[in-house]
Amino acid sequence: MKSFNFIIKRKDVKTCARLGKVLTPHGCFETPAFMPVGTQATVKTLSPQELKDTGAQIVLSNAYHLYIRPGLEIIKKHKGLHRFMAWDGPILTDSGGYQVFSLARLRKITTEGATFNSHFDGRLIKFTPEKVIKAQEVIGSDIAMVFDECLAYPSPKSDVKKSVDLSINWAKRSKKAHKMKKQSLFGIVQGGMFLDLRKESLKRTVDIGFDGYAIGGLSVGEPNKLQYEIVSQIAPLLPVSQPRYLMGVGYPVDILQAVASGVDMFDCVVPTRFGRNGSAFTNNGIVVVRNGKYAKDMKPLDPRCECYTCKNFSRSYLRHLINCNEILGSRLVSYHNIYFFLSFMKKIRESINRGTFSIFKNNFLHKFDKKMR
Protein backbone atom coordinates (compact mmCIF):
# COMPACT_ATOMS: atom_id res chain seq x y z
CA MET A 1 0.00 0.00 0.00
CA LYS A 2 1.21 3.51 -0.78
CA SER A 3 1.83 5.80 2.16
CA PHE A 4 0.15 8.62 0.25
CA ASN A 5 -3.09 10.42 0.90
CA PHE A 6 -4.66 13.80 0.23
CA ILE A 7 -7.08 15.28 2.73
CA ILE A 8 -9.20 18.33 1.95
CA LYS A 9 -9.81 20.20 5.20
CA ARG A 10 -11.78 23.18 3.94
CA LYS A 11 -13.07 24.70 0.70
CA ASP A 12 -13.52 28.40 0.04
CA VAL A 13 -17.14 29.32 -0.66
CA LYS A 14 -16.43 32.14 -3.13
CA THR A 15 -13.61 30.57 -5.16
CA CYS A 16 -12.22 27.11 -5.91
CA ALA A 17 -9.47 27.54 -3.30
CA ARG A 18 -9.04 24.67 -0.88
CA LEU A 19 -7.07 23.91 2.27
CA GLY A 20 -5.56 20.45 2.53
CA LYS A 21 -2.81 18.13 3.59
CA VAL A 22 -0.75 15.59 1.63
CA LEU A 23 0.65 12.57 3.47
CA THR A 24 3.81 10.90 2.14
CA PRO A 25 6.31 8.29 3.41
CA HIS A 26 8.56 11.12 4.63
CA GLY A 27 5.91 13.14 6.39
CA CYS A 28 3.13 15.49 5.39
CA PHE A 29 2.86 18.96 3.93
CA GLU A 30 0.02 21.45 4.04
CA THR A 31 -1.61 22.82 0.91
CA PRO A 32 -1.65 25.21 -0.86
CA ALA A 33 2.08 24.51 -0.78
CA PHE A 34 5.15 26.10 -2.34
CA MET A 35 8.06 23.75 -3.00
CA PRO A 36 11.51 25.37 -2.96
CA VAL A 37 13.45 24.13 -5.97
CA GLY A 38 16.48 21.95 -5.23
CA THR A 39 17.29 21.09 -8.83
CA GLN A 40 20.64 19.41 -8.19
CA ALA A 41 19.95 18.04 -4.70
CA THR A 42 20.26 21.47 -3.10
CA VAL A 43 18.13 24.58 -2.81
CA LYS A 44 20.83 26.97 -3.94
CA THR A 45 22.89 28.49 -1.09
CA LEU A 46 20.68 27.04 1.70
CA SER A 47 21.29 24.06 3.98
CA PRO A 48 18.50 21.58 4.83
CA GLN A 49 18.35 22.99 8.36
CA GLU A 50 17.95 26.52 7.01
CA LEU A 51 15.14 25.29 4.78
CA LYS A 52 13.36 23.87 7.79
CA ASP A 53 13.89 27.16 9.62
CA THR A 54 12.14 29.02 6.80
CA GLY A 55 9.14 26.71 7.12
CA ALA A 56 9.76 24.45 4.12
CA GLN A 57 7.78 21.20 4.29
CA ILE A 58 8.62 19.73 0.86
CA VAL A 59 11.30 20.37 -1.76
CA LEU A 60 11.57 19.66 -5.47
CA SER A 61 14.49 18.10 -7.30
CA ASN A 62 15.03 17.06 -10.89
CA ALA A 63 15.67 13.66 -12.42
CA TYR A 64 17.33 15.10 -15.53
CA HIS A 65 19.99 16.99 -13.59
CA LEU A 66 20.59 14.20 -11.07
CA TYR A 67 20.94 11.66 -13.88
CA ILE A 68 23.69 13.81 -15.43
CA ARG A 69 25.37 14.73 -12.14
CA PRO A 70 26.20 12.98 -9.85
CA GLY A 71 24.62 9.99 -11.65
CA LEU A 72 22.25 7.34 -10.40
CA GLU A 73 24.96 5.02 -9.07
CA ILE A 74 26.13 7.55 -6.53
CA ILE A 75 22.59 8.30 -5.38
CA LYS A 76 21.92 4.57 -5.15
CA LYS A 77 25.04 4.17 -3.02
CA HIS A 78 23.47 6.66 -0.57
CA LYS A 79 20.21 4.65 -0.66
CA GLY A 80 18.33 7.50 -2.24
CA LEU A 81 18.15 11.26 -2.51
CA HIS A 82 16.91 11.87 1.04
CA ARG A 83 20.15 10.59 2.56
CA PHE A 84 22.29 12.03 -0.21
CA MET A 85 21.11 15.59 0.48
CA ALA A 86 20.29 15.08 4.19
CA TRP A 87 16.67 16.14 3.79
CA ASP A 88 14.22 13.96 5.73
CA GLY A 89 11.01 15.58 4.51
CA PRO A 90 8.97 14.92 1.36
CA ILE A 91 10.62 15.30 -2.05
CA LEU A 92 8.97 15.64 -5.46
CA THR A 93 11.05 14.96 -8.55
CA ASP A 94 10.33 16.45 -11.95
CA SER A 95 10.92 13.97 -14.74
CA GLY A 96 13.07 16.23 -16.90
CA GLY A 97 10.70 16.89 -19.79
CA TYR A 98 11.04 20.65 -19.41
CA GLN A 99 14.84 20.40 -19.16
CA VAL A 100 15.02 18.39 -22.38
CA PHE A 101 13.00 21.21 -23.98
CA SER A 102 14.95 24.11 -22.46
CA LEU A 103 18.55 22.91 -22.02
CA ALA A 104 19.35 20.03 -24.34
CA ARG A 105 21.19 20.65 -27.60
CA LEU A 106 20.36 18.77 -30.79
CA ARG A 107 17.42 16.96 -29.24
CA LYS A 108 15.36 14.50 -31.25
CA ILE A 109 11.89 13.52 -30.13
CA THR A 110 10.31 10.27 -31.31
CA THR A 111 7.52 8.03 -30.06
CA GLU A 112 10.17 5.95 -28.30
CA GLY A 113 11.62 8.86 -26.31
CA ALA A 114 13.97 11.83 -26.42
CA THR A 115 17.57 11.69 -27.62
CA PHE A 116 19.70 14.71 -26.79
CA ASN A 117 23.14 15.99 -25.91
CA SER A 118 23.85 16.72 -22.25
CA HIS A 119 24.00 20.43 -21.50
CA PHE A 120 26.94 19.64 -19.19
CA ASP A 121 29.40 17.59 -21.25
CA GLY A 122 27.70 17.08 -24.59
CA ARG A 123 27.39 13.30 -24.32
CA LEU A 124 24.48 11.66 -26.09
CA ILE A 125 21.65 10.59 -23.79
CA LYS A 126 18.38 8.84 -24.51
CA PHE A 127 15.42 9.23 -22.20
CA THR A 128 12.40 6.98 -22.49
CA PRO A 129 9.40 7.03 -20.13
CA GLU A 130 10.58 3.72 -18.69
CA LYS A 131 14.12 4.98 -18.13
CA VAL A 132 12.93 8.19 -16.46
CA ILE A 133 10.60 6.29 -14.11
CA LYS A 134 13.42 3.92 -13.18
CA ALA A 135 15.66 6.91 -12.46
CA GLN A 136 13.08 8.44 -10.13
CA GLU A 137 12.67 5.11 -8.34
CA VAL A 138 16.44 5.00 -7.74
CA ILE A 139 16.28 8.60 -6.52
CA GLY A 140 13.51 7.50 -4.16
CA SER A 141 11.39 10.64 -4.22
CA ASP A 142 8.00 10.58 -2.53
CA ILE A 143 6.26 11.95 -5.63
CA ALA A 144 7.46 11.24 -9.17
CA MET A 145 6.27 12.83 -12.39
CA VAL A 146 5.58 11.10 -15.70
CA PHE A 147 7.86 11.90 -18.62
CA ASP A 148 6.21 14.40 -20.95
CA GLU A 149 7.00 16.78 -23.79
CA CYS A 150 6.96 20.54 -23.23
CA LEU A 151 6.62 22.83 -26.25
CA ALA A 152 7.68 26.44 -26.65
CA TYR A 153 5.23 29.32 -26.86
CA PRO A 154 3.86 29.95 -29.39
CA SER A 155 3.53 26.62 -31.18
CA PRO A 156 1.18 25.73 -34.05
CA LYS A 157 -1.93 23.83 -33.01
CA SER A 158 -0.98 20.89 -35.21
CA ASP A 159 2.33 20.54 -33.35
CA VAL A 160 0.60 20.83 -29.97
CA LYS A 161 -1.88 18.10 -30.94
CA LYS A 162 0.98 15.76 -31.86
CA SER A 163 2.67 16.61 -28.58
CA VAL A 164 -0.49 15.82 -26.59
CA ASP A 165 -0.73 12.42 -28.29
CA LEU A 166 2.95 11.76 -27.59
CA SER A 167 2.68 12.80 -23.93
CA ILE A 168 -0.35 10.56 -23.42
CA ASN A 169 1.57 7.65 -24.91
CA TRP A 170 4.48 8.39 -22.57
CA ALA A 171 2.13 8.77 -19.58
CA LYS A 172 0.68 5.30 -20.18
CA ARG A 173 4.15 3.81 -20.45
CA SER A 174 5.29 5.72 -17.35
CA LYS A 175 2.46 4.26 -15.29
CA LYS A 176 3.08 0.75 -16.60
CA ALA A 177 6.79 1.02 -15.76
CA HIS A 178 6.20 2.42 -12.27
CA LYS A 179 6.71 -0.35 -9.67
CA MET A 180 7.79 1.47 -6.49
CA LYS A 181 4.84 1.04 -4.13
CA LYS A 182 5.78 3.79 -1.69
CA GLN A 183 6.30 6.37 -4.42
CA SER A 184 3.32 8.26 -5.83
CA LEU A 185 3.08 9.08 -9.51
CA PHE A 186 1.50 12.26 -10.93
CA GLY A 187 0.21 12.71 -14.46
CA ILE A 188 0.74 15.93 -16.43
CA VAL A 189 -1.86 17.79 -18.50
CA GLN A 190 -0.41 19.44 -21.62
CA GLY A 191 -2.09 21.11 -24.60
CA GLY A 192 -0.31 24.42 -24.96
CA MET A 193 -2.55 27.48 -25.06
CA PHE A 194 -5.45 25.69 -26.73
CA LEU A 195 -8.33 25.03 -24.35
CA ASP A 196 -9.81 22.22 -26.42
CA LEU A 197 -6.46 20.38 -26.48
CA ARG A 198 -6.00 21.04 -22.76
CA LYS A 199 -9.38 19.47 -22.04
CA GLU A 200 -8.59 16.53 -24.30
CA SER A 201 -5.26 16.00 -22.55
CA LEU A 202 -6.93 16.27 -19.15
CA LYS A 203 -9.56 13.63 -19.94
CA ARG A 204 -7.08 11.19 -21.43
CA THR A 205 -4.62 11.69 -18.55
CA VAL A 206 -7.29 11.21 -15.89
CA ASP A 207 -8.53 8.10 -17.70
CA ILE A 208 -5.07 6.56 -17.23
CA GLY A 209 -5.35 7.20 -13.49
CA PHE A 210 -2.69 8.79 -11.28
CA ASP A 211 -2.21 9.76 -7.63
CA GLY A 212 -2.26 13.46 -8.50
CA TYR A 213 -2.31 15.73 -11.53
CA ALA A 214 -0.13 18.57 -12.76
CA ILE A 215 -0.71 21.33 -15.29
CA GLY A 216 2.47 21.57 -17.33
CA GLY A 217 3.63 23.62 -20.29
CA LEU A 218 2.97 27.04 -18.76
CA SER A 219 5.36 29.82 -17.77
CA VAL A 220 7.12 29.31 -21.12
CA GLY A 221 6.74 32.89 -22.33
CA GLU A 222 2.98 33.23 -22.69
CA PRO A 223 1.18 36.42 -21.49
CA ASN A 224 -0.02 36.29 -17.88
CA LYS A 225 -3.62 36.76 -18.98
CA LEU A 226 -3.45 33.66 -21.15
CA GLN A 227 -1.83 31.66 -18.38
CA TYR A 228 -4.60 32.65 -15.97
CA GLU A 229 -7.26 31.70 -18.50
CA ILE A 230 -5.81 28.23 -19.03
CA VAL A 231 -5.44 27.56 -15.30
CA SER A 232 -8.89 28.90 -14.41
CA GLN A 233 -10.52 26.67 -17.04
CA ILE A 234 -8.48 23.51 -16.46
CA ALA A 235 -7.71 23.29 -12.72
CA PRO A 236 -11.36 22.99 -11.58
CA LEU A 237 -11.86 20.08 -14.03
CA LEU A 238 -9.13 17.98 -12.42
CA PRO A 239 -10.28 15.30 -9.94
CA VAL A 240 -11.50 16.91 -6.73
CA SER A 241 -10.08 14.26 -4.40
CA GLN A 242 -6.47 14.44 -5.62
CA PRO A 243 -3.73 17.09 -5.46
CA ARG A 244 -3.44 19.61 -8.28
CA TYR A 245 0.02 20.91 -9.13
CA LEU A 246 0.88 23.90 -11.35
CA MET A 247 4.42 23.34 -12.58
CA GLY A 248 7.02 26.10 -12.69
CA VAL A 249 4.67 28.99 -11.89
CA GLY A 250 5.76 30.94 -8.85
CA TYR A 251 5.33 34.71 -8.65
CA PRO A 252 3.06 35.56 -5.71
CA VAL A 253 0.38 37.17 -7.91
CA ASP A 254 0.35 34.10 -10.18
CA ILE A 255 0.09 31.77 -7.19
CA LEU A 256 -2.92 33.66 -5.82
CA GLN A 257 -4.74 33.47 -9.14
CA ALA A 258 -4.06 29.74 -9.36
CA VAL A 259 -5.08 29.02 -5.75
CA ALA A 260 -8.41 30.70 -6.53
CA SER A 261 -8.78 28.21 -9.40
CA GLY A 262 -8.20 25.23 -7.10
CA VAL A 263 -4.45 24.55 -7.44
CA ASP A 264 -2.74 22.97 -4.41
CA MET A 265 0.99 22.80 -5.23
CA PHE A 266 3.56 25.15 -6.76
CA ASP A 267 7.28 25.36 -7.48
CA CYS A 268 9.53 28.00 -8.96
CA VAL A 269 13.19 29.05 -8.97
CA VAL A 270 12.20 32.71 -8.56
CA PRO A 271 12.95 33.13 -4.81
CA THR A 272 16.54 31.88 -4.97
CA ARG A 273 17.29 33.24 -8.45
CA PHE A 274 16.18 36.71 -7.37
CA GLY A 275 18.07 36.26 -4.10
CA ARG A 276 21.35 35.52 -5.86
CA ASN A 277 20.86 38.65 -7.95
CA GLY A 278 20.24 40.82 -4.89
CA SER A 279 16.46 41.25 -5.25
CA ALA A 280 14.16 40.64 -2.30
CA PHE A 281 10.42 40.05 -2.14
CA THR A 282 8.96 42.18 0.66
CA ASN A 283 5.63 43.36 2.00
CA ASN A 284 6.20 46.56 0.02
CA GLY A 285 7.13 44.94 -3.29
CA ILE A 286 10.51 43.90 -4.68
CA VAL A 287 13.57 45.60 -3.19
CA VAL A 288 16.63 45.53 -5.47
CA VAL A 289 19.07 45.83 -2.60
CA ARG A 290 22.16 46.04 -4.84
CA ASN A 291 21.03 49.53 -5.95
CA GLY A 292 23.00 52.56 -4.79
CA LYS A 293 20.12 54.13 -2.88
CA TYR A 294 20.46 51.43 -0.21
CA ALA A 295 24.15 52.11 0.49
CA LYS A 296 23.38 53.88 3.78
CA ASP A 297 19.96 52.35 4.48
CA MET A 298 19.95 50.99 8.00
CA LYS A 299 16.50 49.36 7.75
CA PRO A 300 16.07 45.61 7.30
CA LEU A 301 14.95 44.28 3.92
CA ASP A 302 11.39 44.12 5.24
CA PRO A 303 10.54 45.69 8.62
CA ARG A 304 7.49 43.40 8.86
CA CYS A 305 9.46 40.19 8.28
CA GLU A 306 10.52 37.88 11.14
CA CYS A 307 13.21 35.94 9.25
CA TYR A 308 16.83 35.66 10.40
CA THR A 309 18.04 38.02 7.69
CA CYS A 310 15.61 40.80 8.56
CA LYS A 311 16.18 40.44 12.30
CA ASN A 312 19.94 40.84 12.03
CA PHE A 313 21.10 42.71 8.92
CA SER A 314 20.58 46.09 7.28
CA ARG A 315 19.96 46.80 3.62
CA SER A 316 23.27 48.66 3.67
CA TYR A 317 25.17 45.55 4.76
CA LEU A 318 23.34 43.28 2.32
CA ARG A 319 24.08 45.69 -0.52
CA HIS A 320 27.74 45.64 0.43
CA LEU A 321 27.82 41.83 0.36
CA ILE A 322 25.99 41.53 -2.96
CA ASN A 323 28.14 44.13 -4.70
CA CYS A 324 31.33 42.53 -3.39
CA ASN A 325 30.09 39.15 -4.68
CA GLU A 326 30.25 37.71 -1.19
CA ILE A 327 28.48 34.35 -0.93
CA LEU A 328 26.84 35.41 2.31
CA GLY A 329 24.87 38.09 0.47
CA SER A 330 23.27 35.56 -1.85
CA ARG A 331 22.59 33.26 1.08
CA LEU A 332 20.92 35.90 3.23
CA VAL A 333 18.68 37.33 0.51
CA SER A 334 17.75 33.85 -0.75
CA TYR A 335 16.91 32.81 2.81
CA HIS A 336 14.66 35.85 3.17
CA ASN A 337 12.93 35.17 -0.17
CA ILE A 338 12.19 31.53 0.66
CA TYR A 339 10.90 32.63 4.07
CA PHE A 340 8.72 35.28 2.39
CA PHE A 341 7.21 32.78 -0.07
CA LEU A 342 6.51 30.18 2.59
CA SER A 343 5.01 32.80 4.93
CA PHE A 344 2.89 33.98 2.00
CA MET A 345 1.58 30.43 1.52
CA LYS A 346 0.85 30.21 5.25
CA LYS A 347 -1.20 33.41 5.04
CA ILE A 348 -3.12 31.95 2.10
CA ARG A 349 -3.88 28.79 4.08
CA GLU A 350 -4.98 30.82 7.10
CA SER A 351 -7.28 32.97 4.97
CA ILE A 352 -8.92 29.88 3.44
CA ASN A 353 -9.38 28.43 6.91
CA ARG A 354 -11.01 31.66 8.14
CA GLY A 355 -13.18 31.99 5.05
CA THR A 356 -11.53 35.27 4.05
CA PHE A 357 -9.44 34.14 1.07
CA SER A 358 -11.23 36.40 -1.45
CA ILE A 359 -10.57 39.44 0.73
CA PHE A 360 -6.91 38.46 1.15
CA LYS A 361 -6.53 37.87 -2.59
CA ASN A 362 -8.17 41.11 -3.66
CA ASN A 363 -6.22 43.19 -1.14
CA PHE A 364 -2.93 41.63 -2.20
CA LEU A 365 -3.56 42.04 -5.92
CA HIS A 366 -4.73 45.64 -5.45
CA LYS A 367 -1.47 46.46 -3.68
CA PHE A 368 1.08 44.29 -5.46
CA ASP A 369 -0.12 43.34 -8.95
CA LYS A 370 2.49 45.60 -10.60
CA LYS A 371 5.11 45.40 -7.84
CA MET A 372 5.85 41.68 -7.56
CA ARG A 373 7.52 40.97 -10.89
Same domain membership, residue 229 and residue 103? yes
C-alpha torsion sign, points 170, 108, 193, 161: negative
Residues 264 and 281 in one domain: no
Does residue 311 belong to any structural domain of this protein? yes
Closest among 116, 104, 107, 148 to 247, alpha carbons compared = 148
Provide φ and ψ at 247, rounded to 5°. Answer: -80, 130
Question: Is 184 in the same domain as 296?
Answer: no
Confidence of residue 2 (pLDDT cuts 50, 70, 90): low
Residue 34 pLDDT > 80, yes or no? yes
Residue 104 pLDDT > 80: no
Question: Do the Cβ atoms of 276 and 295 come closer than 8 Å?
Answer: no
* pTM value > 0.85: yes
Average pLDDT over residues 348-371: 95
Catalytic residue annotation: 94, 267
What would the mean pLDDT of 170-193 be, rounded to a whole number? 98
CA separation for the pair 138, 78 (Å, rounded) = 10
242-274: pLDDT as tens digits: 999 999 999 999 999 999 999 999 999 999 999
pLDDT at 230: 98
Residue 217 lies in a domain: yes
* CB-side neighbour CA atoms (13 Å) of 114: 28
For residues 324-350, average pLDDT:
98
Gap between the terminal Cα atoms of the chain: 43
Average pLDDT value for residue range 4-14:
98
Instruction: Return the pLDDT at 3.
Output: 86
Same domain, 262 and 291: no
- Return the H-helix or E-strand segment holding 22: strand 18-24
pLDDT at 101: 81
Say yes or no to pLDDT of 1 above 70. no
% of the chain surpassing 70 pLDDT: 99
Strands of 27-31's sheet in order across: 5-11, 18-24, 27-31
Q: Residue 180: pLDDT above 70?
A: yes
Q: Is residue 345 part of a domain?
A: no
Q: Are residues 206 and 131 in the same domain?
A: yes
Question: What are the tens digits of pLDDT across the range 195-228?
Answer: 999 999 999 999 999 999 999 999 999 999 999 9
Q: Are residues 196 and 163 in the same domain?
A: yes
Domain that holds residue 172: 5-268
Q: In the sheet where 105-109 sits, what is the strand order?
A: 105-109, 114-117, 124-127
Report the pLDDT value the prediction gives residue 103, as an integer from 0 to 100.
Answer: 79
Average pLDDT in the chain: 96
pLDDT category of residue 102 using cuts at 50, 70 and 90: confident
35 belongs to a structural domain: yes
What CATH number is attached to the domain comprising 186? 3.20.20.105
Instruction: Assign 138 a pLDDT band (cuts: 50, 70, 90).
Output: very high
Give the separation between CA 194 and CA 188, rounded to whole angstroms.
15
Does residue 199 lie in a domain region?
Answer: yes
In order of 26, 58, 229, the CA distances from 255 in angstroms are 25, 17, 13
Contact 272, 36 (CB under 8 A): yes
Number of domains in the chain: 2
